[in-house]
Amino acid sequence: MINWIYGFVLLLLFVLENIYFKIAKKYNILDVPNERSSHHTITLRGGGVIFYFGVLIYELVFGFFAPWFVCGLTLVALISFIDDMNPLSAKIRLLVQAFSLLLLLLQLGVHEVACGYVVLSLFFGLAILNIYNFMDGINGITGGYSLVAMLALWGINAFVTPIAPAGFIPVVILALLVFNFYNFRSHARCFSGDVGAVSMAFIILFLLGTFILHSGHISVLVLLAVYGVDGVLTIIHRILLKENIGQPHRKHLYQLLANEGKYPHLSVSLMYMGVQALVNVGYLLILMYAADYTLVYFGISMLVLIAIYLPLRRKFYALRGQD
């Protein structure tokens, strides 16, 4: 019976995505290339709204759960979608994101701990939401990387400790498969948009936060290590260059590989997916058979990734002809 339900959900997600395409065409919700883009053709924006629809469908089909999380997700999806249509002030976006994260923390029960932990959680939550959004710049990377992350979280849910109702993560994965069907192509039919990248980051944060509270293993953040290394070190580089880190740019390693290195977008996305998948498999094994060493694994993974990242960045950044 459950297979029929999942089949129905998958079909419904395809229908909703295509309805959105018609709406996006009618109202010109488009991504128009500029000098900072890594693509060259006008493409529909906001196809990642299907991630939000996936959560709503789960609530309707399988039963309501985590109401504060869903309210927070609704807010960040809405403000991100508005921003996709008409760019908003960064202050407005950050304010809504912060309030949405407070709702997520309320769902997780973090309000019961010291205020300092709440402030720290807000800071890291905002950082992850926006880095995840910054990393959305080439075909396949958001959908592919998110799929790798969700599969690892599904493994944790199945083999380590429950972090969500049984059907929740599979439905999110189905939404990712629908999006990837239209985005993981040489010529994408749609882009995720802020609504997709931020919504997916919010969903992942909810699952990571649930696991951290249940297990105490903050090392689970290693499931986002590849994005974290590229995102954080790029921000540090831009700060050193005295740039506005809120402005679009082409200085992430994935952008350098695609633009200066001339690697196909899907090849770069597959690189990011593959490296993160290796990290995730290793983490799941450590978690299941040697849980006392997860922090050691986290530290070693980060050092190895940074050691790989820095020479690659230096090599391809030099092709820009800049210091």
Q: What is the pLDDT of residues 236-251, one digit of tens each?
A: 999 999 998 878 888 9
197-251 pLDDT per residue, tens: 999 999 999 999 999 999 999 999 999 999 999 999 999 999 999 998 878 888 9
Domain limits, the chain: 2-320
Confidence of residue 110 (pLDDT cuts 50, 70, 90): confident
Q: Which of 235, 242, 262 is nearest to 316 (CA)?
A: 262
Averaged over 25-50, what is the pLDDT? 84
Phi, psi of 44, rounded to the nearest 5 degrees:
-60, 135
- Taking CA atoms, 289 is separated from 55, 228, 284, 293, in Å, by 32, 26, 9, 9
User: pLDDT class for 33, splitting at 50, 70, 90?
Assistant: confident
How far apart, in whole angstroms, are the C-alpha atoms of residue 2 and residue 278? Answer: 30
pLDDT for position 42: 87
- Res 322 pLDDT > 60: no
Per the CB < 8 A criterion, the answer to whether 165 and 65 are in contact is: yes
Residue 208 CA to residue 194 CA, distance in Å, equals: 21
Contact present, 177 and 10 (Cβ < 8 Å): yes
> What pLDDT score was predicted for residue 112?
67
Residues above pLDDT 70, as percent of the chain: 96
Tell me the whole-structure pTM to 2 decimals. 0.95
Cα 254 to Cα 230: distance, rounded to the nearest angstrom: 8
Q: How far apart are CA 302 and CA 225, in angstroms?
A: 7
What is the rounded CA–CA span in Å between residue 251 and residue 236?
Answer: 11
Query: How many CA atoms, within 13 angstroms, populate the side-chain half-sphere of residue 43?
Result: 24
Measured CA to CA, the distance from residue 238 to residue 250 in angstroms comes to 11
pLDDT digits (tens, 9 = 90+) for 134-191: 999 899 999 999 999 999 999 999 999 999 998 999 999 999 999 999 999 999 999 9
Range 70-91 average pLDDT: 96
The confidence band for 323, taking pLDDT boundaries of 50, 70 and 90, is very low
Rounded average pLDDT over 295-309: 98
